[in-house]
Amino acid sequence: MSDQKTAPWEAEEYTDYTLRFIYACIIYAIIGFSWGALMGGIPGFRHFVDHRLHGDLIVRAHTHINLLGWVEMAIFGAVYYLIPRLVRKGIYSMPLVKVHFWMHNVGLVGMVVLFTTAGIIGGQASLTMTPDQIEPLVRPWLAGVGIFGTLVLIANIIWGYNIFKTCQGWRSLR
């Protein structure tokens, strides 16, 4: 063991959560890439999402898994890794990192499941029902998307706050 003090950003818990963002990024990327390949490669699936009423909601689910899952999680992990090293101090709040991680994931998974459910319900119903009859079937699922989307938004605000507070006063530390 070294007598040197461990840098704040090298704490095990901090490293663990930074890597959780990267692991989540990888999982969401694999899901999103596979989903896209299936939508493009299976003619019946492609027809469903392209031509059935509310089938486009399945495309929105795919888009959100890629953007909020793959891309955002990669960015969060990278920023959590870089910022403390850049400003030479530990993250402002480790509890906020944890809240951010879990709230973002719960919100994202909820959005994706409800977008997909609404798309399937609307697409199947469009075989026998009019758009006016389908809308009440889909509306509650989309309201749920809004609730879960709000969780993601709050998680992202928490992230921004935590990063801002970490960066605040960095010049005085030099």
**2 has pLDDT over 50:** no
For residue 4, is it within any domain? no
Residue-wise pLDDT tens digits, 28-48: 999 999 999 999 999 998 999
pLDDT tens-place string over residues 129-170: 999 999 999 999 999 999 999 999 999 999 999 999 999 987
Which DSSP string do the residues of 96-161 spell out, in sequence order? HHHHHHHHHHHHHHHHHHHHHHHHHHHHHHTTTS-HHHHHHHHHHHHHHHHHHHHHHHHHHHHHHH
Tell whether 173 is covered by a domain: no
In a domain, 2, yes or no: no
Assign 61 a pLDDT band (cuts: 50, 70, 90): very high
φ/ψ of 22, rounded to 5, equals -70, -45
Domain-located, residue 37: yes
Q: Residue 79: pLDDT band by 50, 70, 90 thresholds?
A: very high
Cβ–Cβ under 8 Å, residues 89 and 166: yes
Q: What is the pLDDT of residue 9?
A: 72
**CATH number of the domain encompassing residue 17:** 1.20.120
Encode burial over 138-171: b for 16+ CB neighbours within 10 A, e otherwise: beebbebbeebbebbeebbebbeebbeebeeeee
Give the residue among 132, 97, 128 at the shortest CA–CA distance from 14: 97
Residue 134 located in a structural domain: yes
Expressed as residue numbers, the domain containing 39 is 9-167
Distance CA 71, CA 67 (A): 5
- How large is the angle between the packed helices 43-51 and 56-64, nearest 10 degrees? 100
- CA 99 to chain CA mean position, Å: 13
Residue 172 falls inside a structural domain: no
What 3-state class would DSSP assign to 55? coil
Q: Provide the number of structural domains found in the chain.
A: 1
- Please write the tens of the pLDDT for every residue from 95-115: 999 999 999 999 999 999 999
In a domain, 90, yes or no: yes
- The answer to the question of residue 60 being in a domain is yes
